[in-house]
Amino acid sequence: MKFLKIFATVLLILALFITVINVIPPKKVTESNPFMVGEGELPMIAAHRGGGDNNPENTMLAFRRAVSDYRVDIIESDLWLTKDGYLVYNHDGYIDRTCNVNGDISKDEAKSLSKSERHYIKDMTLDELKQYNFGYYFENEKGERIYKDAENIEELGLQIATVEQLFEEFYESHPNLLFIVEIKNEGEAGYEATRKLAEVLDKYHEYKDNIVIGTFHPEIEEELEKNYPHLMRGASTAGAAQFVITHFAGVNLFDSSSFACLQVPMEYDLGITVKLDLASIINRAHRRNIAVQYWTINDEWEMRHLIDLGCDCIMTDDPALMRRVIDEYKAEK
């Protein structure tokens, strides 16, 4: 009987402890977060790679149409450092999948090239990269490669795009445009890429508060946190995992995350499926002024589901579809 009383007391104390730490307001990451929407507002649209379903991914053509035609709030992409020190937008570290660097071979052949056959951004200068048509393999809804034979690639916006080029394009006309970028280089190249990005932002200083920077590399995350604390960071894989685990354990008060944006898929496979499309995760993040952004959502039902949950941003390859869905929600109000 005495053991049962002690056990019950311990359980009660534990329950009170968990209740208290979930009631105490957690420390906010930042007082102001432009990537968060207000209560009851619809989520922002982020054009993933500029919206690769609608236009050739990561090209100025895609970025321009994402902003003008689909009225996106955010442009999302990845950054790589060229041989001569320019930051360019591309998902892969090589360019074979999207441009005509290999001449007239098929898309499947381009995708199946071995690592030794690929053309890597780190080995090429910006001028060398600008020779190629990055809309070469793009197909429209009819399956037509409408830019395959384009000659005026610079005018069309089909060359590889630089960070400075994108900022310059919208700096005056769209001062509130937001950016999600991921620094893909690691080690010394990653440090240099970080420095270059900060350098460009010094020139386009109003965009310093409009950008969130992510990386998969711990040393680059540490570099950002230590030497560029004024720039907002996205959650690393480890950081996002820590936030989610402490949330499910009910001890999120002890989470020391300092990122501004939690960027997650709707679910994650760890042998078992862990669902992350939960209002409780969004609400917990919002208590710390952390924006919750879901990727990469190209299905209308999933878009509507996340809108109803109250997330801050939906990253999509199909901003045209996302714009239609958002506009329909607005019309229903």
Segment 21-76, tens digit of pLDDT = 454 455 676 788 999 999 889 999 999 999 999 999 999 999 999 999 999 999 99
Per the model's pLDDT, the better-predicted residue between 14 and 134 turns out to be: 134
Q: Band the pLDDT of 242: cuts 50, 70, 90.
A: confident
DSSP codes joined into one string, 231-246: SEEBPPHHHHHHHHHH
For residue 8, pLDDT beyond 80: no
Interatomic CA distance for residues 145 and 300, integer angstroms: 25
Instruction: Compute the half-sphere exposure of residue 89: CA atoms within 13 Å on the CB side of its CA.
Output: 31
Q: Band the pLDDT of 2: cuts 50, 70, 90.
A: low
Whose CA is closest to 45, among 178, 168, 163?
178
pLDDT at 18: 45
DSSP 104: S
pLDDT at 237: 87
Rg (CA), the chain: 22
Whose CA is closest to 252, among 206, 302, 197, 290?
290
User: 90-99, 118-127, 142-151, 237-246: which range is least confident on average?
Assistant: 237-246
For residue 169, pLDDT beyond 70: yes
* Residue 288 near residue 269, CB atoms below 8 Å: no
Whose CA is closest to 265, among 274, 273, 276, 280?
276
- The average confidence (pLDDT) of the chain is 91
* Residue 12 near residue 4, CB atoms below 8 Å: no
pLDDT at 10: 47
Whose CA is closest to 296, among 65, 136, 117, 76?
76
Per the model's pLDDT, the better-predicted residue between 4 and 244 turns out to be: 244
Interatomic CA distance for residues 309 and 322, integer angstroms: 16
* Residue 29 near residue 229, CB atoms below 8 Å: no
* Residue 174 near residue 67, CB atoms below 8 Å: yes
Lookup result for tokens 């409009």: 210
State the average pLDDT over residues 272-282. Answer: 94
H or E stretch covering 61: helix 60-68
For residue 122, pLDDT beyond 90: yes
State the average pLDDT over residues 174-180. Answer: 98
For residue 314, pLDDT beyond 90: yes
